[in-house]
Amino acid sequence: MDSAREVSDGRLTVEGFSVASRAFADKWKIHNQSFPPWSWVPLINRTLLVSKKQEEGYLSLEKIIILSSLEEEIPEDESLNVATDCLEKEETVDHTILVPTMENEAHYYDFHIVYSASYKVPVLYFRGYCSGGEPLALDVIKKDVPSCSVSLLLESKWTFITQEEHPYLNRPWFKLHPCGTEDWIKLLSQSSSSSGCQMPIVLYLVSWFSVVGQVVGLRIPLEMLN
């Protein structure tokens, strides 16, 4: 698939997902430097069975830190940005001060963007855990993300959270169910076509994450959509 190919039906091939993922990661690194970069995790065993043009893998953004004690001090729509300061100061901060009490406990989040072969769309998997590794329940996670994100989750007809085994790690993760992804990507594509152009493959994940990321409190800079 040519990286310049346009999206019309809301779906991606494995190769298209690889192209879109790398374009998304590159744009994130350039325009969203307050966060760590997304990493491409290749699935070596699977990749050996297909051509290089169809390299399989997924995107990973891990150890994003949220300090629940700072929740009231920070505007709600910036609560996840606490991760930036924590990661930048990782080498100088004594992390033991983040652990002792529930009032000042660090919550860590991992995010993976995985290709769904059945739906032929990307899926956001995520998990939250304490500094000791104990997993966070969904109710706790909802308290960490901005209230507008929780409202979006409750009101949106396009997505909902489920918990199931991570397709590659064989551990329970939460995911935003992809059942409505194809339909609303079609709407975005149709909106682009009404302006005289179709959505290019390289902007697929950027456009997708501009919607999905809000559900977990991760927003992208507008510059990434250009």
Q: Which residue has the higher pLDDT, 198 or 138?
A: 138
Residue 104 · residue 86 · CB < 8 Å: no
- Residue 32, pLDDT above cutoff 60: yes
pLDDT tens digits for range 11-20: 999 999 999 9
Query: Considering the domain 6-45+54-67+103-224 in this protein, what is its CATH number?
Result: 3.30.1460.50
Whole-number Å distance between alpha carbons of 135 and 160: 20
- As given in the structure block, the two tokens for residue 183 are 């339909």
pLDDT tens digits for range 52-88: 555 789 999 999 987 654 444 444 444 444 343 433 4
Mean pLDDT over the full length of the chain: 77
pLDDT at site 52: 52
Give the SS3 label for residue 163.
strand
Residue 173 · residue 163 · CB < 8 Å: yes
Q: State the CB neighbour count (10 A cutoff) for residue 154.
A: 9
Residue with structure tokens 């510059």?
223
Q: Which positions are annotated as active-site residues?
A: 179
